[in-house]
Amino acid sequence: MIFILFISFIILLRLGELVYSKRNEKWLLQNQAVEYGKSHYPFIVALHVLFILSLIVEYWVKQPVSYSFYFLIFYFTLLLFKAWVILSLGKFWNTKIYHIPNAPLIKKGPYQYIKHPNYLIVIVEIAIIPLVFHLYYTAIIFSILNGIMLWVRIKEENKALEI
């Protein structure tokens, strides 16, 4: 029952992020934003969909599965950091890479200290979410795949931000 509630929460949170991202995308495009990294975006979407499916399959195959209260608390604490990142970027936060020419970079919130705090959160999320239920295969495989994807994405985003 806890897994069903947890995975439902994860899915609803991701869908909420997509809705918020789409709303911000409209604002960004109205303000002459240019999109970068279009070619790799479908792979990011696929990675995250397969991640959710892998969680469900590994949980189902591994029965019975217990959960780690500490990793669960760590995950919900991580969400506070994620909220700080999203609130700091405001209308600039998006799941895609957009850049408004001549717009100053955001230097508030965690962006005062880290260049890409959102990606740090994604790295930790991809590892921690499966570890809540001791789903080690998903944690390892998707941490590696996510690392490869973020290497591509951060390179693309850094190019966009240099313009």
Per the listing, tokens 């979407």 go with 45
Task: Map tokens 């995975």 to a residue.
Answer: 7
Q: Which pair of structure tokens corresponds to residue 122?
A: 């994604």
Residue 18 and residue 23: Cα distance in Å, rounded?
A: 9
99 secondary structure, DSSP code: E
Q: Return d(Cα 15, Cα 147) in angstroms, integer.
A: 22
Which tens digits make up the pLDDT trace of 37-46?
Answer: 999 999 999 9
pLDDT in tens, 73-120: 999 999 999 999 999 999 999 999 999 998 988 999 999 999 899 999
pTM of the predicted protein model: 0.92
Which three-class secondary structure state does DSSP give residue 158? Answer: helix
- The average pLDDT across 29-36 equals 95
